Structures are given as structure tokens and as C-alpha cells.
């Protein structure tokens, strides 16, 4: 691509919000279509994923390179949350008189020769508390991924 076209592309308004070189949390993020296009989904996965990763970045939370966060809106697992380092499965939870979006949290899923399904570590975590939960889990992932761990 000629430098002039690249300069024009990098000046596009879309890149005011989305970076051409996203951070580690964005690179391995997988999300199903959510309740915008699927009547099975219990949550708005795309919006929740963007809010979650944006908040984690704002807090300075880092993930080891290659850490996969997958989000599915329901048990059908279109976001493949069972094979992620951290998987989120959409849920709903009643808080007082209100039903709010939530997620079950899974950890430890892997692909490849040592494949295994992730295990549920938390249930029905309100969407408003997901950043706190993942901020606590990501340092543990960093330790588990460290050589000799």
C-alpha cells in the first residue's frame, strides 16, 4: 500500500476509537453475536465485552501474551468460552427487584495437545462486577503462564 493511502487510512475517523495495533486484551478476545442477533443470548455480549476490556485497560490490567478471553451469550457456546483461558457465559441475576445481565466465569480452557475444557469458578457475576473479577483473575493467569509455574 502506498504511503499516501496508509496515511489516509490511519487518519480515518474509525481509528479515533479502534486502534490498528490493539492491546493484548483485545487481540485474543472472542465474542458471539449476542442478543442483537441471537434470541438465545441472555446478554449483549458485544457491548459487555467492549465495556469490560476498556475498563481493564483503563485500570492498567495486563494479560500475558496470548491470553484468550471468550464470551458466549448462552449455553450454546458460540463464543467458545469453554476453551478459553478465561471464559464468560451470559446469565441473568436478580438484584432486588431488577434482573440484570451477568456472566458465569470459567478458567483453564486449552486447545492443542493438552486440550481441556475450562472449569466454572464463579456464577452469575453481575456485568458491573466483571472487571473486578477479571482484574483479580488475570494476575493469576500471568503466574500460571510464567516459566516454571
Domain boundaries, the chain: 22-145
C-alpha to C-alpha distance for 45 and 40, rounded to whole angstroms = 12
Write the class of the CATH domain 22-145: alpha beta
pLDDT at 139: 72
Q: How confident is the model at residue 86 (pLDDT cuts 50, 70, 90)?
A: very high
pLDDT at 1: 56
Which residues are 107's β-sheet partners? 86, 119
pLDDT at 145: 53
Contact in structure between 64 and 145 (CB atoms under 8 Å): yes
What is the per-residue pLDDT across 92-149, written as a single tens digit (0 to 9) for each? Answer: 999 999 999 999 999 999 999 999 999 999 999 999 999 999 999 987 655 455 444 4
pLDDT at 141: 57
Q: How confident is the model at residue 29 (pLDDT cuts 50, 70, 90)?
A: very high
Pairing mode, strands 98-107 and 86-95: antiparallel
94 φ, ψ to 5°? -90, 125
C-alpha to C-alpha distance for 132 and 149, rounded to whole angstroms = 24
What is the per-residue pLDDT across 30-61, written as a single tens digit (0 to 9) for each? Answer: 999 999 999 999 999 999 999 999 999 999 99
pLDDT at 143: 46
pLDDT at 62: 86
Nearest to 87 by CA among 108, 61, 59, 57: 108
pLDDT at 96: 96
Contact in structure between 127 and 42 (CB atoms under 8 Å): no
Amino acid at each position: 500500500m502506498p504511503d499516501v493511502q496508509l496515511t489516509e487510512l490511519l487518519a480515518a475517523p474509525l481509528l479515533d476509537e479502534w486502534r490498528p495495533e490493539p492491546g493484548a486484551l483485545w487481540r485474543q478476545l472472542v465474542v458471539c453475536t449476542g442478543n442483537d442477533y441471537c434470541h438465545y443470548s441472555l446478554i449483549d455480549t458485544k457491548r459487555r465485552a467492549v465495556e469490560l476490556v476498556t475498563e481493564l485497560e483503563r485500570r492498567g490490567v495486563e494479560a500475558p501474551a496470548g491470553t484468550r478471553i471468550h464470551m458466549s451469550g448462552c449455553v450454546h457456546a458460540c463464543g467458545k468460552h469453554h476453551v478459553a483461558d478465561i471464559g464468560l457465559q451470559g446469565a441473568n441475576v436478580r438484584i432486588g427487584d431488577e434482573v440484570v445481565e451477568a456472566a458465569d466465569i470459567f478458567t483453564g480452557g486449552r486447545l492443542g495437545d493438552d486440550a481441556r475444557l475450562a472449569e466454572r469458578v464463579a456464577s452469575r457475576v453481575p456485568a458491573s462486577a466483571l472487571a473486578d473479577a477479571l482484574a483479580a483473575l488475570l494476575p493469576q493467569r500471568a503466574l500460571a503462564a510464567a516459566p516454571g509455574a
